[in-house]
């Protein structure tokens, strides 16, 4: 698959594969492990999971068993709504890192813009980024007004906004806003 080796450069200089495997709804255990190992064996280098998916342990096992060097794999995970907040997000990150059994996460995302909580979660993510525990930080499902609200208090702009984006839902205004602010828009469920 020639497209699996194509990259985009994030606003902090990190290269992120343009194509990846999302493991939403993949069952923990052999189902997710086999899917990740198969994807990595066939050239995929981005694996997207989340604490909400409850399959981070299997993703981590598959990465270890794949034979692909860790530095070649771009791992994304996300903090869920009930763990948003400063201390909660730090704890959620450590839980995800432990389940994935990884020294660092390539991209850590806020899963949804829960009002009154996502700004504190973002401060925690900035701390994780500054400490080197994550290579990039970003958001999911943020609309323009959410991003503008985040910009009011953030030190580091999101590198990624992962949103629903496909031929039946083309969010042109959001795409342009992200381009104008050097935020990589990433599609979930694009096909």
The DSSP line for 72-91 is G-EEEEEE-GGG-SHHHHHH
CA 122 to centroid of chain Cα atoms: 14
Q: Pick from 13, 118, 16: which is nearest to 4 by CA? A: 16
Residues labelled catalytic: 53
- Write the CA distances from 112 to 34, 58, 145, 147, 163, integer angstroms: 28, 23, 13, 12, 10
Contact between 82 and 55 (Cβ < 8 Å) = no
């Amino acid at each position: 698959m020639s497209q699996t080796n194509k990259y985009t450069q994030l606003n902090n200089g990190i290269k992120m594969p343009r194509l990846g495997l999302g493991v939403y709804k993949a069952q923990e255990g052999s189902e997710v492990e086999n899917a990740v190992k198969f994807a990595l064996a066939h050239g995929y280098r981005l694996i997207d999971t989340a604490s909400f998916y409850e399959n981070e342990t299997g993703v981590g096992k598959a990465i270890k068993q794949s034979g692909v060097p860790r530095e070649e794999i771009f791992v994304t995970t996300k903090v869920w709504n009930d763990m948003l907040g400063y201390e909660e997000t730090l704890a959620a990150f450590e839980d995800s890192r432990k389940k994935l059994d990884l020294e660092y996460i390539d991209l850590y995302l806020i899963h949804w813009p829960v009002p009154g909580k996502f700004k504190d979660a973002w401060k925690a993510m900035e701390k994780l980024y500054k400490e080197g525990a994550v290579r990039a930080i970003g958001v999911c499902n943020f609309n323009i007004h959410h991003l503008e609200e985040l910009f009011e208090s953030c030190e580091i702009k999101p590198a990624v906004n992962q949103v629903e984006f496909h031929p039946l839902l083309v969010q042109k205004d959001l795409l342009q806003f992200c381009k104008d602010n050097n935020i990589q828009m990433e599609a979930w469920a694009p096909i």
